[in-house]
Amino acid sequence: MTFDINSFAAFRIHRQGGQITARFDQVGLSDLTAGEVVVRVSYSDINYKDALAATGTAPILRKYPLVGGIDLAGEVVYSSDPRHAPGQRVLVTGCGLSETQDGGYAEYARVQGDWAIPIPTGMTDADAMKLGTAGFTAALAIHRMEQNGQQPANGPVVITGATGGVGSLAINMLAGRGYEVVAVSGKPEADAYLHGIGASQILRRQSLDLGSKPMEAALWAGAVDNVGGEVLTWLTRTMGYGGNIASVGLAASHELHTTVMPFILRGVNLLGINSVATPRALRLAVWQRLATDLRPAQLDRIAGKHITLAELPAQFDEYIKGRVIGRTVVRIGKDT
């Protein structure tokens, strides 16, 4: 059986003459990368990675052209995979969307059956994209940390890149589970926002004493780091015994200059968080937690900005300049 839709709007990223350009095109399903499941997309979102890809600031895409958008939620309209049926509401985050596969900035998407996650009971399509890759990454980090012994009684957990999507959602999730959460932010104007979503203390990024010794005074029981580079090095130096550092991003640098001493003498654990290649069973478990014990109480405050697909191109520059606080949801089609 074949299934086709001849013409719909898609925001596609092209490489022409060595230059990256992005524009709205009319495409058909036959123009999209292969997949067993066709989804009528209702919502997507904006992540920093989306802005990098659409502006050509970093070489995110591995082939061209591709539809942008690393996340999507919507309704299955066709599936040759028996695990999915028309009418089912699903979400897809990461999995190579807008990297090697066409993504979520289109009225329809074609994806692999393994990637499509049934939207949990009590969660709408819009809720799923308020969370998106950022929420999944934050929840995966907390899940891994707790598997490794993290608990509120151990002491404070510090979040770097606190005003971004991952940072904001991690703060709210951890606070909801009873953790003392310390936010690191370079944006004084966001202090009320950070306190409102659960930060008990805010450290100014520009004023951090990063130290120089292999180990400094132990300050933290855990950390979620979006930054990398010197800040991640500082976290290894200041982590307490048995502390977990979930490394989720490299907004400042991909480099890490440290010693083995914190890992040997304090038993510090550095946990790499890859939200793109997460196995399906773990994805299902983490999304179930996002609908239950890790559901952020302040989700609407964190993801309060909603735009249409037509408004999408004008948003990316603010992400590249680091001016965005929280999450932006992109409405593409009909929600349920």
Dump pLDDT digits (tens) for 73-121.
999 999 999 999 999 999 999 999 999 999 999 999 999 999 999 999 9
Residue type, 232: L
Residue 294 pLDDT exceeds 50 = yes
Shared domain for 113 and 159, answered yes or no, is: no
Shared domain for 109 and 194, answered yes or no, is: no
Residue 276 pLDDT exceeds 60 = yes
Whole-number percent of the chain with pLDDT over 90: 91
Identify which has the larger pLDDT, 283 or 334: 283
Shared domain for 108 and 147, answered yes or no, is: no
Mean pLDDT of 220-242: 97
How far apart are the C-alpha atoms of 293 and 285, rounded to whole Å? 12
Shared domain for 108 and 200, answered yes or no, is: no
Name the CA dihedral angle for 201, 204, 209, 210, rounded to a multiple of 10 degrees. Answer: 100
Q: What is the CA radius of gyration of the chain?
A: 20
Q: What is the pLDDT of residue 1?
A: 46
Is residue 148 situated within a structural domain? yes
Q: How far apart are the first and last CA of the chain?
A: 28
Shared domain for 25 and 99, answered yes or no, is: yes
Shared domain for 198 and 150, answered yes or no, is: yes
Shared domain for 105 and 164, answered yes or no, is: no
**What are the tens digits of pLDDT across the range 133-176?**
999 999 999 999 999 999 999 999 999 999 999 999 999 999 99
Is residue 260 situated within a structural domain? yes
Residue 4's pLDDT band, with cuts at 50, 70 and 90, is: confident
Three-state secondary structure string covering the chain:
CCCCCCCEEEEEEEEECCEEEEEEEEECHHHCCCCCEEEEEEEEEECHHHHHHHHCCCCCCCCCCEECCCEEEEEEEEECCCCCCCCCEEEEECCCECCCECCCCECEEEECCCCCEECCCCCCHHHHHHHHHHHHHHHHHHHHHHHCCCCHHHCCEEECCCCCHHHHHHHHHHHHCCCCEEEEECCHHHHHHHHHCCCCEEEEHHHCCCCCCCCCCCCEEEEEECCEHHHHHHHHHHEEEEEEEEECCCCCECCCCCCCHHHHHCCCEEEECCCCCCCHHHHHHHHHHHCCCCCCCCHHHHCCEEEEHHHHHHHHHHHHCCCCCCCEEEECCCCC
Q: Crossing angle for the helix pair 125-147 and 165-176, nearest 10 degrees?
A: 70
Shared domain for 147 and 96, answered yes or no, is: no
Residue 330 pLDDT exceeds 50 = yes
CA 146 to chain centroid, in Å, comes to 19
Is residue 125 situated within a structural domain? no
How many domains is the chain built from? Answer: 2
Shared domain for 85 and 47, answered yes or no, is: yes
Mean of the per-residue pLDDT values of the chain: 95
Is residue 64 situated within a structural domain? yes
Is residue 258 situated within a structural domain? yes
Shared domain for 54 and 89, answered yes or no, is: yes
Is residue 229 situated within a structural domain? yes
Shared domain for 154 and 260, answered yes or no, is: yes
Residue 185 pLDDT exceeds 50 = yes
Is residue 278 situated within a structural domain? no
Residue 18's pLDDT band, with cuts at 50, 70 and 90, is: confident
The HSE-up count of residue 196 (CA atoms within 13 Å, CB side) is 12
Residue 336 pLDDT exceeds 80 = no
How far apart are the C-alpha atoms of 250 and 266, rounded to whole Å? 24
Domain boundary among 231, 252, 272: 272
CB-CB contact of 73 with 119 (8 Å): yes
- The domain in which residue 55 lies consists of 8-119+304-331
> In this structure, what are the phi and psi dihedrals at residue 199, rounded to the nearest 5 degrees?
-75, 125
Mean pLDDT of 60-75: 96
Residue 273's pLDDT band, with cuts at 50, 70 and 90, is: very high
Shared domain for 217 and 251, answered yes or no, is: yes
Residue 208 pLDDT exceeds 90 = no
